[in-house]
Amino acid sequence: MEFKAGKKIYEGKAKILYETADPDLLIQEFKDDATAFDATKRGVIHDKGIVNNRISAVLFRTLEDRGVATHFVRLLGDRTMLVRRLAIIPIEVTVRNVVAGGMARTFGLEEGKRLKQPVYEIHYKSDPLHDPLMNEEHAVAMGLAAPEELATLKERSLRVNRYLIEFFSPKGIDLIDFKLEYGRYKGRIFLGDEISPDTCRFWEVGTGRKLDKDRFRRDLGGIEEAYQEMLKRVES
């Protein structure tokens, strides 16, 4: 079946979602637009949409092969993939292996310290509130998700962390942390959104060179090169 983009149903900071002729399926398009700090900083990363589409496709396939249900169906074009139409749960999950970013700030820790065990966090997905850290009691009390769903999110996210570490280690990439989003589809929970240098921290093993969106957030330069380097390693 040929899938054509129909009505635009959502445009976010980095992606657009379009309806298709099939009510269960959407087209997810990746943009070159980059934002940081709740969109107070804006820019363009040349070809980022292409890189993130391709990296996400490989990682979703890798996870599917290991039994993780994701919204990914197949690649359509340079910047587009066909995905299942999830009802997104407004929770951002992060998993951390090494202290960086928000965890360094929140707990006054030095970036780069390896954690004794992975840290699983949930955040309330809200730009105006800056995605505040929350716990499962908040999520249940606020009606965001049921306790069994939260148990699934945690178990699945820690499994995703193990699979991604296994994937990236032989490629000389240290997976520092990442963010995941989930949604409901036909009574089950699926991994949605994207997995890319926009949503993960990737440090080159040996040099510590940052190969992710922190180059944009922190004005480190060499942004396009870093994204292309990640694409090369992911597809190698």
Binding site for ligand 5GP (CB under 6 A): 92, 94, 100-103, 131, 177-179, 198-201, 213
Taking CB positions, which residue lies at the least distance from ligand 5GP? 101
Report the distance separating Cα 145 and Cα 152, nearest Å. 11
CB crowding 89-114: b at 16 or more within 10 Å, else e: bebbbbbbbbbbebbeeeeeeeeeee
* Nearest-approach distance from CB 159 to ligand 5GP, in angstroms: 17
Query: Cβ closer to ligand 5GP: 58 or 119?
Result: 119
Query: Cβ closer to ligand 5GP: 145 or 200?
Result: 200
Assess contact for 189 and 183: CB atoms under 8 A: yes
Report the distance separating Cα 131 and Cα 119, nearest Å. 17
* Nearest-approach distance from CB 90 to ligand 5GP, in angstroms: 12
* Nearest-approach distance from CB 78 to ligand 5GP, in angstroms: 20
* Nearest-approach distance from CB 36 to ligand 5GP, in angstroms: 8
C-beta neighbour count of 30 within 10 angstroms:
24
DSSP tag of 196? S
Query: Cβ closer to ligand 5GP: 9 or 129?
Result: 129
* Nearest-approach distance from CB 3 to ligand 5GP, in angstroms: 26
Element (H, E) at 141: helix 136-141
C-beta neighbour count of 160 within 10 angstroms:
22
Report the distance separating Cα 144 and Cα 6, nearest Å. 29
Query: Cβ closer to ligand 5GP: 57 or 200?
Result: 200
Query: Cβ closer to ligand 5GP: 103 or 160?
Result: 103
